[in-house]
Amino acid sequence: MAESFGADVERYDRARPAYPRELVERLLAGSPGPDFLDVGCGTGIEARQFRAAGCRVLGVDPDARMAAFARRGGIDVEVAKFEDWDAAGRTFEVVVAGQAWHWVDPVAGPAKAARVLRPGGLLAVFAHAFQPPVTVADALAEGIRRVLPGSPFAGESRSAADVYDAMFTKFADDIRAVRAFGEPERWRFAWERTYTRDEWLDFLPTTGGLTRLAPDALADVLAGVGAAIDALGGSFVLPYATLAVVAEKP
């Protein structure tokens, strides 16, 4: 699944949200320098944000399609899994991973980050947590159950806040366990965005539960979700929380 997101790179880059300016500024303020390594950089969404802020960014991603798109946007990218990637002696002031650290080995990943960071450098992993309105979420779960029985994406009973809190607690524990960093910090940035029906249906196929569905099955799921949004008046406001775990290499 980790390499299924490149099936439609244009949609992925268009529909996936960028990261809060406050996150970018806070990382820049804490960084000892401008050299950033972006793990699982995808199409370059956060890499472009850091580059626009004056950073030198190198991306690493296992999907050649994602890497090719990011290069078209001016980002240098090397194709590899982070755990297998050859740093060739290069080091960085910040290692970031946006919406990607859960694909990285929980033991090898933090240890590799520590090796490629300069003293005083930062490891920062972050992602968006969000929960659409109940009727929209229920329509998605019902559609997935219909076309993909047994999928874990249809059976999750926890809220998005609980799922992401558990995920980021584990990220912090994994970073702490390598004993190469100071105590990890937890950051949270709250914001919101209004989605129209078409915008949400453009976004959904970029999410993990739907990236590998056949076209007819995807159309079936999206029709049900679209009807739910229509019942809300054609749009809804989605609260986001961008969560981060940040640790410094002494």
Q: Over the chain (250 residues), what is each successive 10-residue block's mean pLDDT?
A: 83 97 98 97 98 98 97 98 97 98 97 98 97 95 89 71 94 98 98 98 92 92 98 98 98
pLDDT, residue 153, reads: 67
In eight-state DSSP terms, residue 99 is S
Domain extent at residue 19:
5-132+158-192+239-248
Separation CA 242–CA 127 (nearest Å): 6
- Nearest alpha-carbon partner for 76 in 86, 67, 88: 67
pLDDT, residue 155, reads: 61
Q: Residue 108: which CATH number?
A: 3.40.50.150
Residue 198, in any domain of the structure: no
pLDDT, residue 225, reads: 98
Residue 122, in any domain of the structure: yes
Residue 228, in any domain of the structure: no
Residue 218, in any domain of the structure: no
Separation CA 80–CA 15 (nearest Å): 24
Residue 213, in any domain of the structure: no
pLDDT, residue 159, reads: 84
Other beta carbons within 10 angstroms of residue 202's beta carbon come to 15
pLDDT, residue 154, reads: 63
Task: Give me the number of domains the chain comprises.
Answer: 1
Residue 31, in any domain of the structure: yes
> Which amino acid, one-letter code, is at 223?
A
Pair 241, 128: CB distance under 8 Å: yes
Separation CA 35–CA 14 (nearest Å): 26
Residue 215, in any domain of the structure: no
Other beta carbons within 10 angstroms of residue 113's beta carbon come to 30
Other beta carbons within 10 angstroms of residue 219's beta carbon come to 11
Residue 128, in any domain of the structure: yes
